Structure formats: C-alpha cells, structure tokens
Amino acid sequence: MMKFHAITIFPGMFDSYFGESLFRRAAQKGIVSLRTYDLRDFTKERHRKVDDRPFGGGPGMVLQVAPIHAAVHSIEQGIARGAKKRRVRTILFSPRGKKFDAAMARRLSRYDDLILICGRYEGVDERVAEHIADEEVSIGDYVLSGGELPALVLMEAVSRFLPGFLGKEESLEEKNGSFPTYSRPETFYPAAARAGSRPKKKGWAVPKVLLSGDHQKIAEWRRRHGAGA
C-alpha cells in the first residue's frame, strides 16, 4: 500500500477529493491511503500559532521550522514502529523546487510512504528545505496560496503508476500518449443544441478516419496527432 501523509493547516481540503472516484475505490482496495496532520497540533505555542514574521523584514508570515520538524518526526516514528521496513520520502512543495513530471511521478511511486509538507502564507522557513525535506517539488511556474493543491496533483499522478489504481481499463493517455478524442454525436450542431432545430450551417464533425473501423489507420492518425508529434 502507498501511504500519503499530508502536513497542512487545512486538513479538510483533502477530504472531498480523496473520498471520490478513483481514490475512494483504491482506498477500499488497500492500494492507497491518506492521513492528514494538522500542523497546529505540533506547536508548543499556547495559541496554536505556527507562523511568524521573517527575519530581515518583508511581507507576510512564514511557517516555522519547529512544528514542521515535530510533525515529520512524529510521522517517521509511526512508520518505524511498523513490522516491515518501508521506503520513505519527504517532499516540500516550493516554487523553487524541481518541476514535477511523469518521470518523477513514476520514481516516487516506488516508495512506500510519501510525507508531503504543504506550505502557506509567504513561504516556509528555509531550514525545512535544508534539513528536513528530501526534495523540493514545484508543479508549475506560477504561485498558489498553499501546497494542498500541488499535493493532490502529486498524489493522483503517483497513484496512477500503482498496480490496480486505474482498474481493468487502462487510461488512453497512459497507454498511447495524449491525442485528440471524440465521442457521439458524429456531427454536432451547436446552434441546434440551443434552438432545438437543425441549422443550415455545417456542424462540427468527427474526423472520418475514426469512423472507418480501420484500426491501423486510426493508430497512425493518433500517432500523428499525439502529444509531441
């Protein structure tokens, strides 16, 4: 089983996504599991504060190293108490991290436990990257409010490499690469969909080769129109 451990100040953000569709079925089958950890449970500050102003000045607040260290240490201790030795990787989401891609997802799928540190505010104390996380990861060249969405993206991409996660049906993109796909109707008339009558204008048609039944020609068309073609 792949176990995800998400450290966050908003643990409820994971509930809906992980409780639906592929994740729900995979959890029921014992393929994946998720446990969220409220970072505020690991601070000794009486008001459960986990952030402070940055040294040297600057805007906003920064998540402190102490509660993150305590959370990761607690998770690692829990994993170590298990009967079987497990491969563990700790990831910090950061705009300065290595760009996440399919190769990284495949590599991470070989671990047993992934500890995911979700930042917030203006960032995370740099000592987390230097001494606690095994690697920093970015899902794109843009800024988000926190690491929760990147964590969900990573969890799904990694899980798709786990045997049984997708069920009996393979994903077209995993099997052949990304290419345009179409379904019924063979010709769609947008004006008719609005007005309820068939217009004189030409509709949006499915490429004829996909209707031919010639699997060799279809495969060739998909190769030509696939990602990276």
pLDDT tens profile 1-58: 999 999 999 999 999 999 888 999 999 999 999 999 999 999 988 899 999 998 888 8
Its pTM stands at: 0.83
Residue 122 has a pLDDT of 78
- Domain shared by 28 and 123, yes or no: yes
C-alpha angle with apex 77: 94 to 40, nearest 5 degrees?
A: 55
Tokens, residue 49: 């504060």
- Domain shared by 128 and 154, yes or no: yes
Is it the case that residue 165 has pLDDT exceeding 70? yes
Confidence class for position 59, pLDDT limits 50, 70, 90: confident
Pick the last residue of a domain from 159, 192, 214.
159
Average pLDDT over residues 98-125: 95
- Domain shared by 26 and 75, yes or no: yes
Is it the case that residue 174 has pLDDT exceeding 60? no
Residue 163 has a pLDDT of 92
Is it the case that residue 229 has pLDDT exceeding 60? no
Strand duo 62-63 + 88-99: pairing: unpaired
Tally of structural domains, the chain = 2
Count, residues in the chain: 229
Residue 21 has a pLDDT of 85
Confidence class for position 82, pLDDT limits 50, 70, 90: confident
Residue 196 has a pLDDT of 57
Is it the case that residue 215 has pLDDT exceeding 60? yes
Average pLDDT over residues 114-127: 92
Would residue 214 count as lying in a domain? yes
- Domain shared by 78 and 110, yes or no: yes
**Residue 201 belongs to a domain with what CATH number?**
1.10.1270
Average pLDDT over residues 210-221: 94
pLDDT above 90 covers a percentage of the chain that reads: 69
- Domain shared by 208 and 121, yes or no: no
Is it the case that residue 172 has pLDDT exceeding 50? no
Is residue 60 within 8 Å of residue 122, measured between CB atoms?
A: yes
Is it the case that residue 175 has pLDDT exceeding 70? no
Is it the case that residue 213 has pLDDT exceeding 60? yes
- Domain shared by 195 and 134, yes or no: no
Sheet holding 2-8, edge to edge: 32-38, 2-8, 113-117, 88-99, 135-138
Give me the domain span that covers residue 62. 2-159
Residue 193 has a pLDDT of 57
Among 8-22, 66-80, 161-175, name the one with the lowest average pLDDT.
161-175
- Domain shared by 120 and 149, yes or no: yes
**Residue 34 belongs to a domain with what CATH number?**
3.40.1280.10
Residue 195 has a pLDDT of 58
Would residue 199 count as lying in a domain? yes
